[in-house]
Structure 1
């Protein structure tokens, strides 16, 4: 029998801290893309993450041979980070995060089609309403920032697919090994893209010289990614997923404050309206799934 979490308050605190520090990865990425390409910024993050996790994987005895699903997860995660970095190069952090948070809605749809999980009319209606909210946010941002405003949707789709893969893979091995090998394959994906794109002059993935400033930001991204991920793992080990999931939207608040204080960015009224629709739809879906998990339904 699965152990019932017995420290929900600790789980909530850990989840809150994770969500408040997660947007610092976006801050570091945005600063990096002022001097290097989005692809190189993403590559640097995974190089740092891999270097940090390697001794942990070996030390905790979670070393395992990678498989095809590790590779696929890495490609998806590398693509996701490349896309969000490309968006952050031109967009405010809060705007990009608002669009990215279509991810839980996309995950609900993909879980129904790929994993065969039931989805009733209530959750389907909430998902569709949330996607309308995405369109509300997208419209002014596309006018202001061009096609880059749609890149967070690419990130949302790739990350939702990545989460579906992790649902399968975490049943087969440790979460730390999964994070390590996913980072390795994401790193290889971005390195190959950079080696191909640099001689062809593809701006988003070119590799170029960098200094200690860029290296420091990349290291900070890797550390922040590792810390926030481990906080999430320990949070979900202590509290029910349904209680923690709505807290992920604190990332939008944190991202807004960071963007305001560092770059002077603040979303307009239309972006806030769309964001509110997305958040409301996402919270409804989470709570509905929590209720159904207890009742055994699919509505």
Structure 2
């Protein structure tokens, strides 16, 4: 059970506590799914795993949408933003899955936590949102953390060590697309759109990889265990996203942000228990810097929001 210090209990309302518990469950399940993905390393290419996972997820969500909203739920507002969402998520997924295959899960997860900083910077150029000094300071600190964490991985595998960073960029583009389509459809219909576009993108990527002549990218007929694990990840990821959504309705997005770092703890535990990936001191240092940068950006953003609310009241 999640226990808060006595002095914080009056601050946290019942809805906040339940929201944090929902967030804790959701983010923990996401990392458990990442562990399942890593278990398929060497058995099937990451491109195939990503394509199959999203094809199953998109089909399942589409069936639920049809039952709940009928044909009216299948709308496609703002096509450019929808493509940003789907392709960005596709790039993020295949990059992160590939990274999880090649490097310790905790390392890939920690580097992926640069997404908030990247999102803030890209929003400056795509949406015209201001990038305050805190954004640049957090981004510089996160870059230092990434460089520290990439040291051993870059020496071992070369340029593919940058895949988690590419995953962060793809995820950030998808988040910006989410902002652009906010309120244009139900949450479920927006999930179906992003999953469907990502699935098409990933199937194309897996097909191109398979005919490229690169043995590691050849997509063969998968073993039934691959199908089962991809289906498990599709279900758990959708469930985790639902739990996080519920958490935001109970406690607010800003309140649950720190809970995202539970993913790193769970990833580290899975790496130690199942994959013999024990993080060294430099890896822990780099991860701490990235997390610190993210929490600093979250705190500064909260102060700015409160200042804006006070100015408008």
Q: In structure 2, which of residues 1, 24, 47 is the aligned counterpart of residue 39 of structure 1?
A: 47
Query: What is the distance in 2 between the residues matched to 1:25 and 1:257?
Result: 13
Q: Alpha-carbon deviation of 1:230?
A: 0.6
Task: Tell whether the 8 Å contact from 2:47 to 2:209 is kept in structure 1 after alignment.
Answer: no
Q: Alpha-carbon deviation of 1:221?
A: 0.9
Q: Alpha-carbon deviation of 1:127?
A: 2.1
1:177 aligns with 2:189: yes
Task: Tell whether the 8 Å contact from 2:81 to 2:180 is kept in structure 1 after alignment.
Answer: no
Q: In structure 2, which of residues 163, 167, 175 is the aligned counterpart of residue 163 of structure 1?
A: 175
Query: What is the distance in 1 between the residues matched to 2:194 and 2:257?
Result: 23
Cα offsets for 1:117-156 (capped at 9, x unmatched): 2232233212211221111111222112322211000000
Match of 1:223 in 2: 235
Secondary structure of the 2:197 match is helix
**TM-score w.r.t. length of structure 1:** 0.93
Query: What is the distance in 1 between the residues matched to 2:51 and 2:302?
Result: 37
Cα offsets for 1:54-107 (capped at 9, x unmatched): 222122217122334323321111111111111111211101111111111111
284-293 vs 46-55, which moves further = 46-55
Match of 1:63 in 2: 73
The 5 A counterparts of 1:70-149 are 70-149=82-161
Q: What RMSD over aligned residues (CA atoms) do the two structures have, in Å?
A: 1.8
Task: Tell whether the 8 Å contact from 1:37 to 1:203 is kept in structure 2 after alignment.
Answer: no
Task: Tell whether the 8 Å contact from 1:6 to 1:238 is kept in structure 2 after alignment.
Answer: no
Stretches (4+) displaced over 4 A: none
Counterparts in 2 of 1:124 and 1:197: CA distance versus 1, 3 Å: closer
Query: What is the distance in 2 between the residues matched to 1:169 and 1:201?
Result: 39
Query: What is the distance in 2 between the residues matched to 1:60 and 1:13?
Result: 27
Give ranges in structure 1 of 5+ residues lacking alignment. Answer: none
Match of 2:60 in 1: 52
**TM-score w.r.t. length of structure 2:** 0.89
Query: What is the distance in 2 between the residues matched to 1:111 and 1:72?
Result: 13
Cα offsets for 1:196-246 (capped at 9, x unmatched): 332222445432111211110110110111001111111111112221111
119-128 vs 92-101, which moves further = 119-128
1:154 aligns with 2:166: yes
Query: What is the distance in 2 between the residues matched to 1:204 and 1:156?
Result: 23
Query: What is the distance in 1 between the residues matched to 2:219 and 2:181?
Result: 32
Give ranges in structure 2 of 5+ residues lacking alignment. Answer: 1-12
Query: What is the distance in 2 between the residues matched to 1:121 and 1:228?
Result: 33
Task: Tell whether the 8 Å contact from 1:86 to 1:204 is kept in structure 2 after alignment.
Answer: no
Task: Tell whether the 8 Å contact from 1:39 to 1:206 is kept in structure 2 after alignment.
Answer: no
226-235 vs 73-82, which moves further = 73-82
Secondary structure of the 1:141 match is helix
6-15 vs 60-69, which moves further = 60-69
Query: What is the distance in 1 between the residues matched to 2:142 and 2:208?
Result: 38
Task: Tell whether the 8 Å contact from 1:39 to 1:204 is kept in structure 2 after alignment.
Answer: no
